[in-house]
Structure 1
């Protein structure tokens, strides 16, 4: 028997992704299915079992191994969900490569870009077409994803770009890192800035193409900023965690957006933080010495 609703979260065996999977499983019904995905079979299996056993869990929870750097695997999973269930209702793209302050940004660039950007492009391309009416497709980004955080010389690469143009810009950035010409072209050393801008630009590109249809069916595609979250990925970058949220707290606003009966059209295609739009052109390029993560 097909599940009533299908939800999928990437990077879901720990941190914010795990909290989102837990929240979905608690707010959905016993007929619904939450797919908790990650790269490692043991970690995914253990996480799915643990979420299933939580007192508040109502929906069915299944672990699925999904390496988001494998774009063919993303496409196969989307097609499988379309064939089995007629589509999917909630997709949260949350996977991120862990980067420590002492590591070389340039040496980790390929992995970081593959996980954060190439995977985001593949999820948008594969899952947007199988998103059922009234569904939600959200990409977890950050407040660094607004265009103003980039050098003005780079704005034309992302402002009003199609998904293909965003992909080209990302690969140009990658190439500039390899050829050691990134700084000369205006790219910041810190990978998180162009990566987040590119994520938000990719969402905006897909949303622009689908806006009329999605608004007519109550469907939402957007990027979301969860705010400062205390996770293993972010903790090494902060000196003061007094204002940080737990993953469960940070998941709350994202889940409220997912389960909102009516979403204001102004949120469609935008970067949303705590229910409000972060304007696309806001922000200023970060000082290179300031490597703190911005929520």
Structure 2
């Protein structure tokens, strides 16, 4: 049996680190998990913090905000292993309630949205039979949270380029202040998460038949509220699951045999969250 290869972006802390640890525990010593992040020191510290046993964990630099970074590491993994089996796109730029959206929207979209489409472009072609590519998003990534007048911007996009164009238009409106006088929500996380889910849906629209024939899962996932310092800036998370607890259901989704109903959809705790009533699962 070919050794399995997994990769997690944004993996130096929180949910990303928990996903790496969970993958290492569930896979075998013959397998490899890549723990990636943008800072070499933090990557090395994260690798050293993990308990031994299970799959080998390697640290790699991957800053998804850099236009060619995902493609470069994907090429290295193709050369080393021939393909990948599990990819979790978890990299995210977090914001605080005190941040001015106009000042942070450029790097925010660069990491959360264009970083997502870069990872999808780079790693989807490398997926082996039975593999999975999971984008960590949020239940906020449904059209339910967007004004109906804006639904058509994201509802039925069919390419990643189209998704990038719509995200760029939103980013520019936030940057120049015009979004504040329009229908866009003030919380930048909502359009950003919708853009992530739209990206998964667009790529899945292109790949669905061939992927399901090969047992491949492409999906976005809502891990639910997690008890982390970042979430605590916005909400009371004292009773929320730890990152390790939240990672369990995501690992089940990635490693269990694919459920065709999950393909291309936003999944929370094993259930599909409707994109919108007028746009059912595809």
Q: 1:3: Cα distance to partner?
A: 6.9
Quick check: 1:16 aligned with 2:15? yes
The answer to whether residue 29 in structure 2 is matched with residue 34 in structure 1 is no
Question: Residue 243 of structure 1: CA displacement?
Answer: 3.4
Deviations 1:46-93 (A, max 9, x none): 111221xx15x3100011011110120110111111121111111100
Q: Secondary structure at the match of 2:68?
A: helix
Using structure 1 for the length normalisation, give the TM-score: 0.91
Q: Give, in whole Å, the separation in 2 of the partners of 1:93 and 1:248.
A: 17
- Once the two structures are superposed, residues 186-235 of structure 1 have per-residue CA deviations (whole angstroms, 9 ceiling, x without a partner) of 11111100000000000000011000001001000000000110112211
Decide which moves more: 175-184 or 193-202: 175-184
5+ unaligned residues in a row in structure 1: which ranges? Answer: 283-295
Separation (CA, whole Å) in 1 of partners of 2:66 and 2:200:
20
Query: Structure 2 matches for 1:116-127, cutoff 5 A?
Result: 116-127=112-123
The superposition leaves residues 148-198 of structure 1 with CA deviations (integer Å, 9 ceiling, x where unpaired) of: 111111111111102211110000011111221113341111110000000
Which consecutive segments of 4 or more residues in structure 1 shift more than 2 A?
Answer: 240-243
CA distance in 1, matches of 2:151, 2:162: 12
The answer for the alignment partner of 2:270 in structure 1 is 275
TM-score (structure 2 length as normaliser):
0.95
Task: Describe the SS at the equivalent of 1:139.
Answer: strand
Tell me the alpha carbon deviations over residues 119-166 of structure 1, each in whole angstroms, 9 at most, x when there is no partner.
001001111111111111000001000111111111111111022111
State the match for 1:167 in structure 2: 164
2:103 is paired with a residue whose SS is coil
Tell me which residue corresponds to 1:95.
91
Q: What is the CA–CA distance in structure 2 between the aligned matches of 1:263 and 1:158, rounded to whole Å?
A: 26
Q: CA RMSD in A?
A: 1.3
Contact 1:15 1:232 in 2 (8 A): no
**Per-residue CA distance 1:241-286 (angstroms, 9 max, x = gap):** 24311000000000111111x222010000000111001116xxxx
